[in-house]
Amino acid sequence: MPLDRRSFVLGLGGAALAPGLAWSQDWTPPPPDRELRVPVRGGSIYVRVNGDLAGPRAPVVFAHGGPGSNHAYFLGALKMAGERAVVLYDQLDAGLSDRPNDPANWTVERYVSEVDAIRAALDLRRLHLVGHSWGSTIALDYAARQPGGLLSATLGSPLISTKSWERSTTAQLAKLPPDIQRVVNAHEAAGTTDSPEYARAMETFYAAYLSRGPRADYVLAYRDGLVRKTNGRVYLGMWGPGEIRATGLLKSYDGEPLLPRIAAPTLVVTGEYDEMTADVLRPLAARIPKAELKVIPGAGHALPSTHPDAYVALVRAHLARNDGI
């Protein structure tokens, strides 16, 4: 891939702060209180914990997107560590976890099983589960199993099905200039997504719907300190060369039948300019028995790191309402 789209988006961090976009500049994320390697099928994964796992409020586990991204963009959630334990982790073949790069591991079921592995390692009898993007696929599938002790789920900018995702992204593409649409559609149809012309056109799409402004400074600083950041190989294999259409193993993914089976109270959150738009999400969220949909103004798909204060405020309130204490 000539364009590692996640590297491109992270590179936007030096851009000027957009009007109305703000985060707490006087805050530095704390180092982990605990780090561990958790054995999973295919290898071991990196897990970090901040806060008291035995505290009165149930811990919250965050599943990152990608596939192949890492936990860095959830750093803002560590502001909750004074009230509950916050567990961040890197999925297999991502971030600081093992990277066997074996396509046999690239299944929804195997990634979902990592949540149970983390629960066992940390003895999490109660928990909240938060996913973002592809991580919401993990959270959706896990919640639909109605596991004991799951107090709530959060589906951020979710991949619920590839067909609904593409319905949203192609509609967003159609709002861009005709020449951008032509280049993207032509190269994706021809399979020539390694073209520099395609990469330039996709930069326009990502600037409009993925980033919508720079990452918080602390996210960029932490990410730059990571020895291993993203894994384009697993992203390409599971999804494809770009966000708009899937060509990889998730091309036929459909989690929509799982929606009515989610018993836990569920927060569905998206950005005003997200790749997964509120109008596409609304009828999907309505199929979850106890769900509410929230939209973060001005945000795109990367909202946990571009709009961390607004994002964390929504998640924090949702968790507090569903702690059961």
Domains of the chain and CATH, by start:
17-169+217-321 (3.40.50.1820)
Q: What is the pLDDT of residue 247?
A: 98
Instruction: State the Cα–Cα distance between residues 82 and 75, nearest whole angstrom.
Output: 14
Q: What 3-state DSSP class applies to 152? A: strand
Distance between CA 319 and CA 300 in Å, rounded?
A: 23
Peptide bond before residue 103 is cis, with ω within 30 degrees of 0: no
Statement: the pTM of the whole predicted model exceeds 0.85: yes
Q: Two tokens at 145?
A: 């199993």
pLDDT given for residue 25 in this prediction = 57
At residue 221, the pLDDT reads 85
pLDDT of residue 88: 98
Amino acid at 258: L
Number of C-alpha atoms within 13 angstroms, CB side, residue 205?
Answer: 30
Q: Mind telling me the catalytic residues? A: 133, 274, 301
Identify the pLDDT of residue 14.
Answer: 29
Q: What is the mean pLDDT of each run of 10 residues along the chain (325 residues)?
A: 37 30 65 98 98 97 97 95 98 97 98 98 98 98 98 98 98 98 98 97 97 85 81 97 98 98 98 98 98 98 95 98 91
So what's the pLDDT on residue 80?
97
Q: State residue 4's pLDDT score.
A: 42
Smallest CA-to-CA distance from 159 within 175, 179, 135 is with: 135
